[in-house]
């Protein structure tokens, strides 16, 4: 039986081990190091979800760069609200700069569409998106993803920065919501 955890009222089963995640992060960083050499990019990390991916990615990015953070929120429980709230905004001047958005997951694409739109108004040279997870079946918007870690099915996941109601962000592996209810859930605690 696969390791299972319970978070509040829901059961989750392990689906992606941390070793696999780190392999893909390394591959993404190597590509970024090649593509963006000489551009001195500004990495813009989308909090809260992307904090763990960003830390792993930036440890492997070896070109001169800067890192900053914005805080957005769109999810409530296990579903998107369709509206994106900006909780902490951008302070840097990005005019003429190469910007790389660092995101945990692209689901409907609403967050990335809105972010690209508001960044473009500040006249950067170019904006790239680096997202670790991508759910192609959930996408509702046209967004170009430059760097993608893993394509995943349209299931709700937690771990590696992603949460259910604020919990589960600290898990290093990825867990997927189990569809069956009333199952015995063995806590890993």
The answer to the question of residue 163 lying near Mg ion (CB under 5 A) is: no
Distance of closest approach, residue 169 Cβ to ligand IMP, in angstroms:
9
For residues 44 to 63, the per-residue mask of contacts with Mg ion, x marking binding by CB under 5 A and - elsewhere, is --x--x--------------
**SS3 of 87, please?**
strand
Can you tell me the distance from the alpha carbon of 187 to that of 172, in angstroms, rounded to the nearest whole number? 15
Considering the complex, state which of residue 34 and residue 144 has its C-beta at the smaller distance from ligand IMP.
144
Radius of gyration of the chain (CA): 17
Distance of closest approach, residue 104 Cβ to ligand IMP, in angstroms:
5
DSSP character string of 58-72: HHH--SS-EEEEEEE
Can you tell me the distance from the alpha carbon of 73 to that of 50, in angstroms, rounded to the nearest whole number? 12
Respond yes or no: is residue 165 known to be catalytic: no
Distance of closest approach, residue 37 Cβ to Mg ion, in angstroms:
27
Can you tell me the distance from the alpha carbon of 46 to that of 113, in angstroms, rounded to the nearest whole number? 13
Considering the complex, state which of residue 133 and residue 175 has its C-beta at the smaller distance from Mg ion.
133
Interstrand relation of 10-16 and 4-7 (parallel, antiparallel or unpaired): antiparallel
Which residues contribute to the site for ligand IMP (CB under 6 A)? 49, 74-75, 80, 103-111, 156-157, 162-163
Considering the complex, state which of residue 37 and residue 87 has its C-beta at the smaller distance from ligand IMP.
87
Can you tell me the distance from the alpha carbon of 169 to that of 184, in angstroms, rounded to the nearest whole number? 22
List of residues contacting Mg ion (CB under 5 A) = 46, 49, 104
By annotation, the residues acting in catalysis are: 107
């Amino acid at each position: 039986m696969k390791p299972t955890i319970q978070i509040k009222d829901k059961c989750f089963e392990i689906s992606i081990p941390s070793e696999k995640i780190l392999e893909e992060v390394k591959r993404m960083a190597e590509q970024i190091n090649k593509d963006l050499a000489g551009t001195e990019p500004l990495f813009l990390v989308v909090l809260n979800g992307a904090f763990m991916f960003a830390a792993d990615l930036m440890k492997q990015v070896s070109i001169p760069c800067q890192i900053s953070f914005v805080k957005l929120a769109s999810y409530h429980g296990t579903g998107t609200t369709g509206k994106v709230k900006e909780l902490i905004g951008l302070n840097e001047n990005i005019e003429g700069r190469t910007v790389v958005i660092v995101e945990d997951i692209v689901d409907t694409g609403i967050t990335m569409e809105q972010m690209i739109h508001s960044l473009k108004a500040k006249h950067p040279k170019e904006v790239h998106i680096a997202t670790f997870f991508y759910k192609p079946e959930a996408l509702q918007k046209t967004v170009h993803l430059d760097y993608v870690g893993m394509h995943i099915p349209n299931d709700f996941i937690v771990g590696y920065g992603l949460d259910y109601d604020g919990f589960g962000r600290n898990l290093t592996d990825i867990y997927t919501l189990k569809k069956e209810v009333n199952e015995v859930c063995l806590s890993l605690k």
